[in-house]
Amino acid sequence: MTPDFIPSDPAILALEDDIADVFAIHDVRVQAGGRAVRFAGEFLRSPALVFDTVAERFAARDRIPVLRREGGRDILIAQPAPPKRGRRRVRINVLLFALTVLSVLYAGVMMNLSGPAAAAYDAALTRLAVAPDADLSARLACSLASKGVTGSMFAANWHAGLPFMLALLGILGVHEFGHYFAARRYKLDTSLPYFLPFPNPFTGTLGAVIRIDSPFTSRKSLFDVGIAGPLAGLAVAVPVLIAGLAQATFLPIVTPETSGVVFNEPLLFRGLAWLVIGARPAGMDIEMNPLLMAGWWGLLVTAINLLPVSQLDGGHINYAVFGRAHRYVAWAMYGAAVLVAVTISSSYLIMLVLILFMGLQHPPALDDITDVGRFRRVLGIGTLLLFFVLVTPVPLQFMGGVGAGGSLCGLPF
């Protein structure tokens, strides 16, 4: 086919030479104010081989290839490479991790206090019972203040918080390092995890994140990085849960006349509880110990990350598996989540609003054509389905009755 347009710019001619043996050029266009060059035509090799071949050649010209298929034609775009970052400083990572250790340790101590401090806390929860519609943030603030834990009390009891701190940070850390090592395998520019301290009596943290500044080269790299975190985190969370269940005791089910916080159980938690401790006595429920608490939060964090929208872990997997059809899965799941938030529980509403601002759809990888293959597709769909056994529509219930499958915090929280 005769090219529709061939510019004579030497830089573009050099790019044509780079791709001539793997791409038949039918049309050339300059885009983005002259910064990107769009070649339309036909791949002469598999898209994956074209990408690998051209990427190596383009690197010498500070460009990266982008592969697309539009209107029945193959598209190869030569766009400027992103600027290279200097050496990352890890001081902020270390500082945030140290602060998170302290705040999570504090939360662990809260769970194990006894005596006057615990009695004062129970009294404060009883006062909260007269305001059942108080939002979660108000209850957390009141609960934390009501503990009245001084520095000396924390210093005397810090060791009591170690099991919870080690278990929860182990789950979160392994999750993030799963992403980190998968990203490094694909030579992506990624940071070490940033742990986020958040002093509160439930977790002491908002979790952890890593920053990836490189574009994902392929849907395969997108898949591997996205799925590595949830699977690695679950590999720690499940043994932590089993260890907590092995130590579990029972308490009477909370009623409107008693104070407590109910940690409603996802299906995986219930299944493991049945396997480890069997059926629960009538009128009794599981008392939450530190390991159970850490495992419970680990399941919840993993479930949230597996929501197949935006650039959450589930969004990465969704796009890698379904390509451009990912938008239908994303909109369906997001709509269902909003419906649950509006009709059953508002617990996730703030998160859903933030996701909406981020955008529900996922940006494409550089090689947006090459499929991830059958094994990854099956593994990805199975991992996305894990969302339904890890999530609970109403995570926490304050000061109220419990239906089937709830657990009580040991001090009641």
pTM of the model: 0.84
Dihedral angle computed from the Cα positions of residues 137, 143, 145 and 149, in that order, rounded to the nearest 10 degrees = -140
Rounded Cα distance between 207 and 31, Å, is 41
Give 212's strand partners: 190
**Which domains are assigned to the chain?**
10-80 (3.30.1360.100), 91-409 (no CATH)
Q: Radius of gyration over alpha carbons of the chain, in Å? A: 26
pLDDT tens digit at each of 413 positions of the chain: 444 455 567 888 899 999 999 999 999 999 867 789 999 999 999 999 999 999 999 999 999 999 999 988 999 999 999 887 777 889 999 999 999 999 999 888 877 764 445 555 455 445 544 444 444 444 444 444 444 455 666 777 778 889 999 999 999 999 999 999 999 999 999 999 999 999 887 899 999 999 999 999 999 999 999 999 999 999 999 999 999 999 988 888 766 555 567 788 999 999 999 999 988 888 788 888 899 999 999 999 999 999 999 999 999 999 999 998 999 999 999 999 999 988 888 888 888 998 988 888 899 999 999 999 999 999 999 999 999 999 998 888 765 443 444 554 433 32
The residues near 66 (Cβ < 8 Å, ≥ 6 apart) are 75, 76, 77, 78, 79, 366, 367, 368
pLDDT at 350: 85
